[in-house]
Structure 1
Amino acid sequence: MEKLQAALEKARQTRAVRSSTVPTRQQLRITPATDADGAWQALAPADLDEAALSQHLIVTREAGAEATPFDILRTKALLQMRQNGWKRLAITSPMPNSGKTTVACNLTLALGRQRDLRSMLFDLDLRDPSVHEFLNIMPQHTIGEMLSGRVPFTEQGLRHGENVAISISNRAELDPTRLLLAEETAERLDEIEAVYKPDVMIFDLPSVLVNDDTRAFLKNVDCALIVIRAETTRHGQFDACEREIAEHTNVLGVVLNAYRQSDGNG
């Protein structure tokens, strides 16, 4: 644990130094066109499958009553992030099956309806990636190949519409903690942010209390959203999760999922 904490602190300090520098074209290794518009257009387009979206409760592609709760979350999160100058948002949960990936996908597509914003979604639940199933899209390369530098982002990332980029995997990584903790991963994300200039970067992370993966990565984000499930997440689990996240980044808020509102007659 002491070794991990020391690595996290060193990485956090290094990120602060990197943020004041501009990567060179050789360092970027992303696309010959270094302007943001050209970089976005170079990403391969991805058509989302309506049946898959419906099956996995992804309801924000179009405005409507079902999308309203996520639209409210989008507005609240965006205003608070802008107020603090934050761009990178982690979405996680204390334990699995809380709905964090559902929230991440819905929030991303809700942001995508804001035509003046550019948003990115990264599936970093590397032991059990599932965003590709939720959206029914198949990447040619895994996110692990991109983060480790084996393929450039322009070949791995996909574009939905004109203003949403998606970086996903269709298979698990063998050593996810090493990849999420690596300085090379932090550098790759800085390069992507420098070239594509997104307004919001969303990272779907593993559940905090299951392994060290999320703890290893939180140094790379500005804030985190915690998703808990009504009648399933225990208070002790939420408390431990919140304290763990607060040690490494800012807690943006909490989403209560699967809550059934009383009819008021009880």
Structure 2
Amino acid sequence: MDPIKQAVELARAAEGVHRPATLGGSPLAAEGPSQRSAESPFQEVRLRPDHLEAHRIVAHGTSSPNGRYYDMLRTQVLQEMDKKSWQFLAVTSPTAGCGKTVTSCNLALSISRLPQRSVLLVDLDLRRPTVGKYLGLGDNGGVLSVLEGRAPLSSAVVQANIGPNGILVLPGSVSANSSEWMASQTMGALLQTIKRDFRSRIVIFDLPPMLLGDDVISILPRIDATLLVAGIGSTSVADVKECQKHLRRSPVVRVVVNKATESVGSYYGYY
């Protein structure tokens, strides 16, 4: 199927976002059965705190002392994004193993705890998607089913709740054509649909590591700002300098140095 036809089919499929009667999808693995409420057109799942914390997702409440670091990051990122009226935030890293997905999930959950703030977390790491695994979601086809026209966006998005708060999540899917999808007109159509239908939400995109291919540099022109996650023991100075070359035309709201202060019990430092 050529990219233009894919884009047309994606746009048609996205019309179902506000039509709950047409929604479908497979059950999700979480605490209790998935369901749709009268208030939400999306599949709803309840996240398990023990599963989250086992994967270092700690910003879903105020009880964890490590969550405060993500709250500080949240405040700084939102201040910068609000100042520029930005909606789309990319989270990436130079190489694998830096903690970008942990940062994406924690940042999204931290933002969700703010009054009058809401978040959509999109796993666009089509090489190795792990957002669903870290949050404890099942496989519902994810973003690839939308890109391929097999499902409307509304049936792929999940309402993930914990306590009184929740985030919307578009889980990821593995694709052998990750690079091609990132640069495609179909991806551009998906991003336009997200911008239109989720315009009141901050949208966080968990992207692949920047230096593993051209995925990130292909999609960055369509994103408002970037959060770069480096890892102590995983990232070299040369890696960061190489990323800086690609990020010269993309606003960087923060650089997170992950695992920098593990010896004193916190998950990351940042500057």
TM-score normalised over the length of structure 2: 0.80
Specify the SS of the correspondent of 2:16. coil
Give yes or no for contact 1:124–1:204 (8 Å, CA) kept in 2: yes
The equivalent residue for 1:110 is: 110
Structure 2: distance between partners of 1:28 and 1:40: 19
Q: Which of 196, 213, 216 is residue 211 of structure 1 equivalent to?
A: 213
Q: Secondary structure at the match of 1:184?
A: helix
Q: How is 1:214-253 mapped onto 2 (pairs within 5 angstroms)?
A: 214-247=216-249, 249-253=250-254
Partner secondary structure for residue 42 of structure 1: coil
Q: Structure 2: which 5+ residue stretches go unaligned?
A: 1-10, 21-36, 265-271
Contact 2:96 2:234 (C-alpha < 8 Å) held by counterparts:
no
- RMSD of aligned Cα (Å): 2.3
Change (3 A) 1:79 1:132: same
CA distance in 2, matches of 1:185, 1:28: 13
Partner Cα separation in structure 2 for residue 157 and residue 27 of structure 1: 13
- In structure 2, distance between residues paired with 1:56 and 1:193: 30
**C-alpha distance in 2 between matches for 1:101 and 1:70:** 13
AA at the equivalent of 1:41: S
Partner secondary structure for residue 129 of structure 1: coil
| Distance in 1 of aligned mates of 2:191 and 2:38 | 15
Structure-2 residue corresponding to 1:164: 167
Deviation for aligned residue 1:262: 7.8
Q: Which residue of 1 aligns with 2:49?
A: 50
Cα pair distance change 1:197/1:243, threshold 3 Å: same
Question: After the TM superposition, which residues 1-266 of structure 1 pair with which residues of structure 2 at under 5 Å, given as runs?
Answer: 28-33=14-19, 41-64=40-63, 65-161=65-161, 164-169=167-172, 171-247=173-249, 249-260=250-261
Opposite residue 205 of structure 1, the aligned amino acid is L
User: Shift of the alpha carbon at 1:240?
Assistant: 0.8
Q: Per the alignment, in what secondary structure is the counterpart of residue 30 of structure 1?
A: helix
Query: Per the alignment, do residues 69 and 216 of structure 1 end up closer, same or farther by CA in structure 2, a change over 3 Å counting?
Result: same
In the aligned structure 2, how far is the partner of 1:31 from the partner of 1:92? 28
The whole-number CA distance in structure 1 between the counterparts of 2:19 and 2:220 is: 30
SS at match of 1:151: coil
When structure 1 is superposed on structure 2, of 145-154 and 127-136 the one drifting more is 145-154
Q: CA deviation at 1:33?
A: 4.7
Distance 1:40 1:210 in 2: 41
Residues 52, 133 of structure 1: 8 Å contact kept: no
The whole-number CA distance in structure 2 between the counterparts of 1:219 and 1:149 is 24
- Contact 1:156–1:167, Cα closer than 8 Å, also in 2: yes
SS in 2 for 1:149: coil
Stretches (4+) displaced over 6 A: none
CA distance in 1, matches of 2:184, 2:12: 20
- SS of structure 1 residue aligned to 2:89: strand
1:182-222 alpha-carbon deviations (Å, 9 max, x no partner): 11111112112212323310000011111111111112210
Could you give the per-residue CA deviations for residues 165-195 of structure 1, whole angstroms, max 9, x where no partner exists?
Answer: 10013x4112111111111111112112212
Distance (whole Å) between structure 2 residues aligned to residue 232 and residue 182 of structure 1: 31
Once the two structures are aligned, what percentage of the paired residues are identical?
26
CA contact (8 A) 2:18 2:41 kept: no
Quote the Cα distance in structure 2 between the aligned partners of 1:217 and 1:63.
34
Q: Which residue of 1 aligns with 2:32?
A: none
Call closer, same or farther: CA 1:101–1:227 in 2, change over 3 Å.
same
Cα contact 1:39–1:154 (8 A) shared by 2 = no
